[in-house]
Amino acid sequence: MHQAPEQRFASVWDAIADTPQEAASLRARSALMMALTEAMSTHRSHDDAVVAMLKADPAFAATYLTVALDEVGEPGGKTVLLSALRNVATAHDLDLTPGLPGPEPDEKPAA
């Protein structure tokens, strides 16, 4: 039985590619995917960015809530308003724990 001589490659991309150009393309795509994965893992959410803006400029809260209130009648507007209220509360370190004290069901709110 005849064994083929052992080949050594500089990278896995060189081993699986048919041409040096294809290996270079695979290396570039791999580097891009790794960079995208890193960027996605360190990217902050929209809500986190808004909270940071609200903390940096407390006056922004009035404009932010006004816009959310203006859109409450639009499709998805109630969700936008609730999200805006949550972001403002978070920026001001307010406790959003469910079950906060409020009027009893049979009790009328104070006028």
The pLDDT, as a whole number, for residue 106 is 56
Predicted pLDDT of residue 85 = 92
Q: Which is it for the CA torsion 88, 51, 96, 93, positive or negative?
A: negative
Residue 109 has pLDDT above 70, yes or no: no
Contact 46, 30 (CB under 8 A): no
Asked if 96 contacts 90 with a C-beta cutoff of 8 angstroms, the reply is yes
Three-state DSSP class for residue 85: helix
pLDDT band, very low/low/confident/very high, at 30 (cuts 50, 70, 90): confident
Cα diameter, the chain:
97
Mean pLDDT over 4-21 rounds to: 88
Torsion 49-54-60-65 (CA) sign: positive
pLDDT at 16 over 80: yes
pLDDT at 82: 92
* Single pTM value for the model: 0.51
Q: Which two tokens stand for residue 3?
A: 């064994």
pLDDT of the residue at 46: 81
pLDDT digits (tens, 9 = 90+) for 32-88: 788 777 766 777 788 888 888 888 888 888 888 998 999 899 999 999 999 999 999
Of 83, 108, 106, 86, nearest to 95 by C-alpha is 86
